[in-house]
Structure 1
Amino acid sequence: MEEKKTLIYDCAKELFSNKGFKDTNISDITKKAGMAVGTFYNYYPSKEKLFMDIYLEENAKLKKSCMQSLDMSQSPLAVVRQMMLLNVEGMTANPILKEWYNKSVFGKIEQLYREENGVQTSDFLYDSFLEIVTQWQAEGKMRSDIDSKMIMMVFTAIINVDTHKEEIGLEYFPQLLDCMTELIMKGLTDCP
């Protein structure tokens, strides 16, 4: 049973990477896996759920790689800038993660995934970075009067601005993102 699920997963990952989410359908996946379409539904309730499982795994790998690459001897602002740069580079280099920027596709996928799995299921941030924020707070490098999880939500907001660059104006990116990051970090590191 697990072998079939792994085969479906691997075939879908390859197809999503090569063709994208929108141009890959369940029959493509099952054909590549050498099984009937009905078999797919024994393991996954939808193409969206399978894609999100693959997306979350790829996202976790990227975040782990980013965390391992950080130079923690730098200031919190420099570390956050480095993390954001590594994240954007990794997202745009990975065809599965790149779907994040396709609002018409990813918004629907995420909505269906959350309906099937619950609102809190897909956390796109990284627990390891929460630990860093908590450490900075303990060391007096970051405000401790703001809950560390709230600070992580601020970082989430910064990351999500990137998905709205067309509405804001492409001519302002990436300078806007850097300026926002700097201003927010100054506010977070100005310890009372």
Structure 2
Amino acid sequence: MNDKKADIFNYGRELFSSKGFKDTNVSEITKMAGIGVGTFYNYYSSKEKLFMEIFLEENVKLKKRIMESIDLDGDPLKVVNELMFLNVSGMNSNPILREWYNRDVFSKLEQHYRQENGIKYVDFLYNSFVELVKKWQVEGKMRDDIDCEFIMAIFAALINIDTHKEEIGIEYFPHILDYLAEFVIKGLTDYQK
């Protein structure tokens, strides 16, 4: 039983990676898995549900690799810049995570997934970094008069700006993101009580 679900998941990942979300259909996944379409729905209520499970797993793997690859004891500005750079480059290099930038597709997927699973399952952008923010607050490296969850929302907003780079202007975008990150971090670290 678990083998069928794993097959659906793995073949789904393979097809979503090669064809994208829009151009992949359930019948292709089930054909590769050697099962009937009806069997697919015993494990996943929709193509969107399968994709979001795969997306979330890929996202967790990326965040884990990022957290393991950087010096978390460094200066917060340097750490956040490195986190943002590695996150954006990691998402751009993974065809499944790259769907995040296809706002047409992803906003519909996210809405569908939220309706089925609740908001807590989609709030995945930087929650893995909350412990780091708490640590910086305890060490006096970051403001402790601002709730760490609110700080996480600020970081998520910085990442979400990436989905609007065409509107901002491609020629300015990388520098704007760098400056905004610098301004935010300085505002969170350079303060007087």
Category of TM-score, reference length = shorter chain:
over 0.9
| Residue number in structure 2 paired with 1:156 | 156
Give 3-state SS (helix, strand or coil) of 1:174's partner. helix
1:60-89 superposed Cα distances (whole Å, 9 cap, x missing partner):
000000000112242100000000011011
Q: Which runs of 5 or more structure 2 residues have no equivalent in the other structure? A: none
Q: How large is the Cα RMSD of the aligned pairs?
A: 1.0
Q: Which runs of 5 or more structure 1 residues have no equivalent in the other structure? A: none
- Aligned residues, how many? 192
Give 3-state SS (helix, strand or coil) of 1:89's partner. helix
Letter in 2 for 1:65: R
The 2-side partners of 1:128 and 1:20 are apart by 26
| CA apart distance, 1:126 | 4.1
- For the 8 Å contact 1:144–1:191, the answer to whether it is kept is no
| CA apart distance, 1:109 | 0.7
1:2-45 superposed Cα distances (whole Å, 9 cap, x missing partner):
11111100110000011111100001111111111111100000
Give 3-state SS (helix, strand or coil) of 1:57's partner. helix
| Residue number in structure 1 paired with 2:12 | 12
Alignment map for 1:54-133 (pairs within 5 Å): 54-133=54-133
**Once structures 1 and 2 are overlaid, which stretch shifts more, 125-134 or 136-145?**
125-134
Give 3-state SS (helix, strand or coil) of 1:171's partner. coil
Give 3-state SS (helix, strand or coil) of 2:149's partner. helix
Letter in 2 for 1:122: V
Give 3-state SS (helix, strand or coil) of 2:79's partner. helix
Identical aligned residues as a percent: 62
Give 3-state SS (helix, strand or coil) of 2:191's partner. coil
The 2-side partners of 1:191 and 1:137 are apart by 12
- TM-score after normalising by structure 2: 0.96
Give 3-state SS (helix, strand or coil) of 2:132's partner. helix
